[in-house]
Structure 1
């Protein structure tokens, strides 16, 4: 028995339809996948403390819940050192105010010539404080959240866990924490 394969118009159309169906299935799978990206990694020294900040963005087309976030260095988890910005600034202002009074007091009357500028309150913005991951965060598609920590040592890895698979069959993904 001899098998003969003829290439006809019907065969070409069916092969093209098969390729198109496979391509469509791959495109749908790729576009419906959950994904998270890490950006805007920075570290600086604020008030003598290391300040580490980064942004996580839901780059998928569906909502996602961040369940856990860990900063890691040498297989140990790094926690926020609970640096109190306001207490630090109050202590520094008090020392500066005392030095200002010693320099600007009138020796004859014992009074100040002007108002002590170090007793005037400070204005703070959200960027002055750490914004730790404390509970689950719900991210809509394309939504970003910025997290920041006062740390004693800089992390090398940021590891997140979500409620959906974001890396093949895993719900956990690790990112390098190096800032460029």
Structure 2
């Protein structure tokens, strides 16, 4: 069984993230969405809330498992029996950082491959931080995030 880990903060999960998960399902037998506890960022949603939202929006995909993790990604991947780490790229600007991370992960765990998937064009401008910013100001985020996430954001910012 070919298992991949798709790690991220997912604060919140967007339709761009779901596009990557959907396509990773076509390549791997099982995809574990690893929600990072150690992200060195101030998050809007707690780790538990982020895991709950990711589980809610991937519930119809039985080959997807959602788990929180902390520590080194490669350790988590090994623990889960993964052979690959999936990363999404929106633009060329993402590539340099992701390339550096993949080289470091390869140094730490030579048996793990990193698979880069380009986000679909319609999602290439979406980032969780842009979604949070728009939602905080009452902007329309419909179609950029799943309805469950839209509702959670509107509630968090006091628009519901």
Tell me if TM exceeds 0.5. no
Larger radius of gyration: 1
**TM-score relative to the length of structure 1:** 0.21
Larger relative strand fraction:
1
